[in-house]
Structure 1
Amino acid sequence: MAKLQFDLVTPVALLRSGPVHMVVVPGVEGDFGVLAGHAPVLSVLRPGEIHVYAEPGAEFERIPVDGGLAEVNERSLTILTGDIERANS
């Protein structure tokens, strides 16, 4: 199964970069999941949690965000957000 390139960027640093199975993102119009092959989307994020699934069926990693912007294309997801603190599930 194809992997999705996921990049999490803050004004201070690139916090995460690498292949994942799926990411669930807190969009302002509702949560949405992103897999490899997703249609291009640009979405504003609301405060909430990003859920990162490294592999199918795996426990997800929780990453709190205070809002931001998500850019999706068929191969990657880039999230631009403010300074965040990582929290694990």
Structure 2
Amino acid sequence: MADLHFELVTPERLVRSDDVYMVVVPGSEGEFGVLAGHAPFMSTLRNGDIAIYRTAGAEPERIPVEGGFAEVSDRGLTVLAERAEVPA
């Protein structure tokens, strides 16, 4: 399966732009996972962790986010978060 293009953006900057296997997003109606080829979809976010899986079966990298929304399109997944705490 092709990789998913993922971008995480805050009002201040582009936090992450990468091709990954899967991303699990804390949607306001519950968590949802996105793989390459996912149907178009939009959701608001609740405060929580985005889990980024670089490869199938890998341990996820977690980035805490607050507010915002996520959009899945034919270009991939874009998360526009009010705030994201990137690990140092």
TM more than 0.5 = yes
C-alpha RMSD over aligned residues: 1.3
Which residue of the partner structure matches residue 76 of structure 1?
76
How does the TM-score come out when normalised to structure 2? 0.94
User: Does residue 36 of the first structure (1) align with residue 36 of the second (2)?
Assistant: yes
Q: Aligned equivalents of 1:79 and 1:61: distance in 2? A: 15
Contact 2:5–2:77 under 8 Å retained in 1: yes
For 1:23, the equivalent position in structure 2 comes to 23
The CA distance in 1 between the partners of 2:62 and 2:75, in whole Å, is 22
Q: How many residues align?
A: 88
Partner Cα distance (2:32, 2:74) in 1: 15
Structure 1: unaligned runs, 5 residues or longer: none
Deviation at 1:18, TM superposition (A): 1.2
Q: Which moved more, 1:38-47 or 1:66-75?
A: 66-75
Contact 1:71 1:78 in 2 (8 A): yes
Runs of 4+ deviating beyond 4 Å: none
- 2:67–2:83 contact (8 Å) kept in structure 1: no
Letter in structure 1 aligned against 2:67: G
What secondary structure is seen at the aligned counterpart in 2 of 1:25? strand
Q: 1: CA distance between counterparts of 2:75 and 2:56?
A: 17
CA distance in structure 2 between the partners assigned to 1:80 and 1:23 by the alignment: 14
Deviation larger for 45-54 or 69-78: 69-78
Separation of aligned partners in 2, 1:45 and 1:6: 16
